[in-house]
Amino acid sequence: MTDAAPLMTLKADLFAEAQRLGFVACGITTAAPDGARAEALDAWLAEGMHGTMGWMEARAHQRRSPQDLWGEAQSVIALGMSYAPAHDPLALAEVGTHGRISVYAQGADYHDIVKKALKALARWLVAEAGKRGFGEVGVKVFTDTAPVMEKPLGAQAGLGWQGKHTNLVSRQHGSWLLLGEIYTTLSFAPDVPERDHCGSCHACQSACPTDAFPAPYRLDARRCISYLTIEYAGAIPLEFRKALGNRIYGCDDCLAVCPWNKFAEAAHANRAFLPRAELAAPRLAELLELDDAGFRALFSGSPIKRIGRNRFVRNCLYAAGNSGVAELYPVVARLRGDPDPVVAEAAEWALEELANAFVI
C-alpha cells in the first residue's frame, strides 16, 4: 500500500457511511482559498443584492473560504440530502383558497435533520481515523446558517453545478438537494468538479415571477419571493405583491421547471421531508386565524416557525388579496385591527384587492 491508499480506503468507507445516514450525494474538495469564489461573493455584496440580510455581510470574511473560517481545515466533505417531491410543486398555483409553502418547508426542519446526520458522520470519521492510525482528527459541521459558501463548495466537490438559477443542480437529483458540509483537518484527495450542464436552457429565468435574475447565474435576492416572504421584515413593497400569488413561504418556481428534475426520484428523498398533510395544501382561511400560540403549535418542528406569526400572517394576507375568493373577506377584515402594524396594513391592502375583484 502507498501512503495515500489508507486515506483512499477511508474516503470510500466514509462515502458508504454517508449514504447509510441518508445522504444521496457526497464529494470532497480542498479547503484552500479560491479567489474567483471570494470575488463573486464580494461583488454580490457590494451591489447590495443581499438586501437586509446583514448577516451575509457581517461574516463575509469567514464566508470567502473554509480556511478563513477555520485555519486548520484541509478538506471539505460536501453532502447532499434529497427532498425530491412526489407531486408537482406548482399544482396549487391557481387555487385561490389555498396557500403554497415551498417544498423544503412542508416536512421536518432540514436544519435539524441534516445537522443530526452530519454530526453522526463526523463522529464516525473521527473514530475510524483514530482506529486506522491517522491520529487526532479535527471536524466541524455546517448546514445553511454558518458563513460557508455551500453551493460553490458542493459544485467543486462534484455534487453538481450551479445552474442559472444559482442553486446546485445534480444530474441524479435535479434541483432538490439540501446541502451540508464537514470541514476536516484530514487531507483527502479532492474529487473532480461537475461541469455546467445548463446549455442553452433558460427555463428557470423565464419562470421567475419577479424577474429576480439580472443575468444568468446571478440572483438579486431583493426581488426574490423566497427572500421577501422569509427574510424580509416589514411591508413587502407594492410592486411585488401581485407577483407573490399564493406563495406564503418561499418559492419553488425556478427549481420546479428545471429539466434535470426528471431524473430526480421522490423515493430518494429523506422520509423526514415528506409533506405534512396540513402544510402540503393549507387553507388560507384557517391560517389567517392563527394567533401566536396557534402558530407555534402548528409549526413546531418546521422551519417556518423561525419567521414568527406576524410575518407569516402578513404573507397569507397578500395571498388572500390575490385570491379572488370572496369568502375570505370577513376573515381578512378582522385583521384590520391587528396590533402588528404590518399585518394591519396587509389586511387593508388585501381588502381593497378583494373589493376590486368583486366590486363589493
Contact 28, 10 (CB under 8 A): no
185's CB contacts (< 8 A; 6+ apart) are 72, 73, 74, 137, 138, 139
152 interface partner picked from ligand B12, ligand SF4, none, CB below 5 to 8 A per type: ligand B12
User: Which one of residues 98, 140, 151, 314 is an interface residue with ligand B12 (CB under 6 A)?
Assistant: 151
Decide if residue 280 touches ligand B12 (CB under 6 A).
no
- The residues, any chain, with a CB within 8 Å of residue 189's CB and separated by 6 or more, are 4, 7, 8, 11, 28
Decide if residue 246 touches ligand SF4 (CB under 6 A).
no
Residue 128 beta carbon to ligand B12: minimum distance, rounded to whole angstroms:
25
Site string for ligand B12, 219-258 (x = CB under 6 A): x-x--x-xx---x------------------xxx-xx---
In residues, how long is the chain? 360
41 binds, among ligand SF4, ligand B12, none (CB under 5 to 8 A by kind): ligand B12
Q: Which residues lie closer than 8 Å to 69 by C-beta, 6 or more apart?
A: 62, 63, 146, 147, 148, 183
The binding track of 257-286 with respect to ligand SF4, each residue x by CB under 6 A or -, is xxxx--------------------------
Q: Restricting to residues 215-234, which ones interact with ligand SF4 according to CB under 6 A?
A: 219, 224-226
Cell 455534487 belongs to 159
Beta bridge pairs of residue 82: 177
Return the one option of ligand B12, ligand SF4, none that residue 258 interacts with (CB less than 5 to 8 A, by type). ligand SF4
The CB density around residue 230, as the number of other CB atoms within 10 Å, is 20
* Per CB under 6 A, 24 contacts ligand SF4: no
**Cβ proximity of 283 and 97 under 8 Å:** yes
Q: Which of 21, 78, 117, 177 touches ligand B12 by CB under 6 A?
A: 177
Q: Which is nearer to ligand B12, 184 or 351 (CB)?
A: 184
**CA angle 110-274-269, nearest 5°?**
75
Cell of 4: 495515500
Tell me, yes or no, if 144 is annotated catalytic. yes
Chosen from ligand SF4, ligand B12, none, partner binding at 166 (C-beta under 5 to 8 Å by type): ligand B12
Catalytic residue among 13, 34, 68, 144: 144
DSSP label at residue 174: B
* Distance from C-alpha of 265 to C-alpha of 150, rounded to nearest angstrom: 23
Cell numbers 463575509: residue: 60
Catalytic residues: 144
Site of interaction with ligand SF4 (CB under 6 A): 163-165, 169, 198, 201-204, 207-210, 212, 219, 224-226, 251, 253-254, 257-260
